[in-house]
Amino acid sequence: MLENGINQHIQAIAYQIPKEGNEFNGDSIYMKVTEDYFICAVADGLGSGEHAFHSSDAVRKEVEKNHDKEVEVLIEYCNQVLKDKRGVTLSILKAHFLQKTFTYSSVGNIQFVLSCPSGKFIYPLPILGYLSGRPQKYRCETYSYEKGSKFIIHTDGLSITDLKSLASSSSSIEEISNYLDNHVKTRKDDLTYIVGQLF
C-alpha cells in the first residue's frame, strides 16, 4: 500500500506491506496534511497478524480522531486505548509549517532521522519499551527544521544501516522510496516507512 501527502509545505510518501504469508499487517500508519501542520503516526503491534493489527489500528484511529491535539496529548490517548489489547511501539511526528518546528515522540524501536540541508541531523532517541495501557513515561521533543529537510521513519521490518546518508543524499523522496523498496523483498516482518521533505 502506498499513500501520498502533499501540499506546498510537505511532500511525503508512506508505504507498508505485511509479513510474507500474513493477511493482516501488524503495522498501522496515519498521515494528514492541513494548511497549518503535517502529522503522521507509525504504530507497530507486538508480534504480527490479526491481534497486532487490531492494536496498531486502534492507535491509528485515535490519532485520526484527535490529529489537532499536540503530540504529548496524543501519545497518552494512544496508551489509554491499548488497555486489554496487545501492546504497540509508536512514533508520532507533528510539523508546524508557520513556526518551522516539529515535535516528535517515540516509544519502542521505530527509527527516525531528519536531515537538514545545512548538514545537521536530528535523531531523537526513543523511550525503550512499548505502550500497553499501563502508566508510561514519554519524551516529547520539539526542534526547528530548515526548508528542504528530509526525514525517514520506519518500523523494524525494514533492515537498513545507512539511514543518515540516505536522508542527507541529494535524492528526491521518490528516489529514496524506490531505494527502500529494494529492501522489502525478504518480508520476515511487517514493514512500514514514511519518507518526507519539508519546505
pLDDT score of 127: 93
Summarize pLDDT for 21-70 with one digit per residue, the tens: 788 999 999 999 999 999 999 999 998 889 999 999 999 999 999 999 99
Q: Sign of dihedral through CA atoms 142, 113, 197, 118? A: positive
pLDDT at residue 5 greater than cutoff 80 = no
Q: What is the C-alpha to C-alpha distance for residues 69 and 47, in angstroms, rounded to an integer?
A: 29
Across the chain, mean pLDDT equals 92
Which domains, ranges and CATH numbers included, belong to the chain? 2-198 (3.60.40.10)
C-alpha cell recorded at residue 99: 513556526
pLDDT bucket at 187, cuts 50 / 70 / 90? low
